């Protein structure tokens, strides 16, 4: 099994697995930062057997100084995953509306919680329907799972650790759009700019419409941003969702040590004493 097989599954292959005697557990994690709730999409049609899991309320903690999408309480996360039918050691596949962001955050959360056999449906729900595969409006009642949440299986950055990476202990990637990074535009958080020393690599530069390029292309793109093989690397965004997608891409590129700053910019600016930068991205290409 390749690293990609361990992380991604294509729609046709998933369809075949679902026909087996012990199919993977399907979690529908469709989500929008603004607009109609993802549950509405789920009710309109979903993969047969999929259970809806809400990113905001089940996979993240309550918004506050720790960020808009902080880590969940382990007990609450365990209860939500068990209610969705997640079983110890049993494969899980997560999918979203196609951009790969909320699915990547769900993937990251399960792996952080110690549940390794979880993959992302490449291309999400649109890839499934584009392949002509069946959808359902039934709402299954899964047998309760028995998964045990063991936090810490993936590395996490707090504000201090993120600052050290950005200052030269490694590379800290800001995956927000360039105008937000430069402080020219900030539609969500109360302060514009970025963590001093962070490099800007907007998400569309390494993933397009939820589709990831080959591992070699990803490695080249991250190297061009200054991610050296021997240097620690971490990622942040506005609230730790798009950055989880960056961590997923780094895993595909062979960097399973990549760390997520879960609180991201929404946590950073919660402390007015933390510095804010607006200068262009540092050149780390020869680092």
> Active-site positions?
237
Going by the DSSP 8-state scheme, the letter that residue 165 receives in this structure is I
In what side-by-side order are the strands of the sheet with 259-261?
Answer: 156-157, 259-261, 233-236, 171-174, 199-200
- First-last CA distance in the chain: 32
**Exposed, middle or buried, 65 (CB in 10 Å: 0-12/13-18/19+)?**
exposed
Q: How far is CA 255 from the centre of its chain?
A: 15
Ranges of beta strands (E only) in the chain are 8-9, 25-28, 51-52, 92-95, 118-121, 156-157, 171-174, 199-200, 233-236, 259-261
């Amino acid at each position: 099994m390749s690293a990609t097989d361990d992380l991604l599954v294509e729609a046709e292959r998933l369809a075949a697995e679902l026909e087996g005697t012990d199919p993977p557990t399907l979690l529908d994690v469709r989500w929008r930062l603004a607009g109609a709730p993802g549950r509405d999409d789920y009710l309109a049609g979903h993969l047969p057997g999929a259970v809806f899991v809400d990113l905001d309320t089940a996979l993240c903690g309550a918004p506050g100084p720790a960020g808009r999408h902080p880590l969940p309480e382990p007990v609450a996360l365990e209860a939500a995953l068990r209610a969705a039918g997640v079983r110890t050691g049993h494969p899980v596949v997560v999918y979203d509306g196609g951009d790969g962001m909320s699915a990547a955050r769900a993937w990251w959360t399960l792996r952080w919680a110690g549940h390794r056999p979880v993959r992302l449906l490449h291309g999400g729900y649109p890839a499934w329907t584009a392949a002509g595969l069946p959808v359902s409006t039934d709402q299954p009642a899964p047998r309760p799972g028995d998964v045990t949440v063991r936090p810490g299986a993936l590395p996490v950055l707090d504000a201090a650790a993120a600052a050290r990476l950005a200052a030269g202990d490694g590379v800290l990637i800001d995956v927000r759009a360039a105008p937000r990074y430069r402080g020219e535009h900030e539609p969500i958080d109360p302060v514009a700019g970025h963590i001093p020393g962070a490099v800007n690599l907007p998400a569309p530069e390494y993933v397009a419409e939820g589709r990831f390029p080959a591992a070699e292309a990803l490695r080249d793109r991250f190297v061009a941003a200054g991610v050296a093989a021997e240097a620690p690397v971490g990622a942040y965004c506005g609230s730790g969702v798009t950055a989880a997608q960056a961590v997923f891409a780094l895993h595909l590129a062979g960097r399973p040590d990549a760390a997520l700053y879960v609180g991201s910019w929404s946590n950073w600016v919660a402390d007015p004493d933390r510095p804010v930068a607006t200068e262009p991205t540092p050149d780390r290409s020869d680092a």
